[in-house]
Structure 1
Amino acid sequence: MEDDPQDAFIVRELLEDGDLSVRLEWARSLDEARHLLAQQRVQCVLLDLGLPDARGLSALAAMREASGDAAVVVLTGLAEEQAGLAAVTAGAQDYLVKGRVEGEWLGRTLRYAMQRKQAEQAAVALHAERLRAEENARLERGLLPTPLLQQMPIQVATRYRASRVSGTLGGDFFDVVEDDDKVVHAMIGDVCGHGPDEAALGVCLRIAWRTLVLSGVTGTALLRQLERVLRAERGGDEIFVTMSTLALESDQRTVRVWRAGHPGLLVHSGSSVTWAEPGIGPALGLPLESEWEPTELELPAGGGLTLFTDGLFERRLPGDGMRLLGEEGLLAVARRHAHLNGEEFVDALISGTEQATAPDASADDVAVVHLRWKEEQ
């Protein structure tokens, strides 16, 4: 960008004499440059700080905003070398002083400026990735806690797979605790939507669930209190949460389940798996009369349960953009791996659903909680 035709001509001649192959476009003003940049992608901008419609560092700021990924090299006069240094401090990749530039030097300066710009972008991307990893770690500590168990002989295996959309944890959450009466309580939930706000809400509800359970609040009363927390903390009235919460009694056979709009669960008996659909009430946060009645299940000796969010089975089948794996497909996968236990079963269940379905960049988060009583020796 240069408003002086003579200086523009000199730059063109210098570039033609050098060894750098370029396609040069001349803009006489900032407004004309913006028009050119909107029509084509450029790798480097030569910017005169004394344009008719922009001067000094304000011209540099406007050009950096307009040029996107392009490197910016500032052109200054003989008496303005300090302005060039200031421009580099303000974000330009380099500066050149008019009248002191040779063709080879100009080409080398532009080449190095583009390389520096690429290095800067790589550093920014690396920093963003590091921040995302740190954010994931903080969210993971809140969403995916260590089970709080004391004496009961129960195996717990949990997994979380973040959506491929961003790689950032979303609104799926779970928890497992044992109370002073040797009852093991477990929960899994899913905040509608995906992103940091949903994840933060999931953390809030997960901590509230653990606090209420350890305070002796369970079942329907527990869900009512969680709905109160949800209505107070959510960002909008359209946000709702599906959840299953259950209590495994100390007799190691009886399980009481309360469902708030959440999918069913898998019941394990020996090396067989069945699908269970306990009684269900509305999801938390919906404008409906909320009643959640318990359903009692009976487990065999050494039996178990697997809870999950809908991202595990709402996956598209290959070759058909409309059909999903669904509950029957998930059950078929589970039965193929029913002989496995604990961590091995959970890993096989997730990998089996992924292998049975098409790669899907829009696939939802997946959370799985597997609980199984240890058989007496």
Structure 2
Amino acid sequence: MPRFDPAHPVFDLTDSSTVLTQQICDVESVSGDETLLADAIVASLAGAEHLEIIRDGDTIVARTNLGREQRVVIAGHIDTVPLNDNLPTRYETVDGEEYLWGRGTVDMKAGVAVQLKLAAELTDPVVDITWMWYDHEEVSNELNGLTRLAANRPELFAGDFAILGEPSNSQIEGGCNGNLRAEIRAYGLRAHSARSWVGDNAIHKAADILAILDSYEAPQVEVDGLVYREGLNAVGISGGVAGNVIPDEVMVHVNYRFAPSRSGEEAVAHIRSLFEGYDVTIVDLAVGARPGLDAPLAQRFQAAVGGEAKPKYGWTDVARFSAMGVPAVNYGPGDPMKAHADDERVRVSQIEECEAGLRAWLTGRG
């Protein structure tokens, strides 16, 4: 068999999900450069007669149309954050466990590999399945492939339950926190630094903003049986005009991760109340998603894969499905703590566990 060539990729979906993970990761697909991988996915599924293939840009949808009573949507993004000397992939052993090391192994090409293999092999699942592999997840929402697909083909999102293959150590993580970013500004009066007493230094006023953040005790909030940890942090600060000018403006960039019990409006109101008296500009807002574990399909899924469901602290596209009325959870191989890390690596056994869990549930053997 010819050696796999990342420059001209075609995947043999009869390979193991671990081998597929390595091959998919070795096809570089930093956000905005997903076309080669999307082409390879389409080519690899070309012989799957049980699947209807739909392409929208670099987002690929493959779905069964078997007339089942229920439909499940299973999705994963094919882009990664930028590389940092962490490709090609390699195997390594840590504390007796075998890992696949490299960009995308955790976030989230191992999950995509499992999904592709099952999409090709499961010709007679107990539910109809809509598989989605999409581009531009790691960048702004307006570029996200699901945003575009929802505008162009909203009917493709119809389902009774959704699974997003985000890394979760091959355990269910329900819902997700919301995400808000705000710019907090304070103002002063410019002056020559040699005569600073005639000005009003705006940067010095950042101390009070930072004091609010430093003293803030982020709550832990129980939502439908799962406890979500919130977070409020400065993630950037800017100000200053020149080395000899007293600055008249400072901006502290704040990130707020809020429990899915809060609406977007409530999250905004909370930030404005904390920083009353300052100029507050909301620059990004994405509401969270409740756990989604009360749906009958979700309960059967949890019974099939086992383990204890946990909350997802970061924002994921489960929120998109939740907003469309489709309960959704995160389920994929990889430790979320290694997502985007320079030493990103996935435990091989977790890839196998994820495949086994999904296979058992989708074939009714779980």
Instruction: Tell me which interval the TM-score lies in, with the shorter structure as reference length.
Output: under 0.3
Task: Give the TM-score, by structure 2 length.
Answer: 0.24
Structure of greater relative contact order (alpha carbons < 8 Å, 6+ residues apart): 2
More helix as a share of residues: 1
Q: TM-score, normalised by structure 1?
A: 0.24
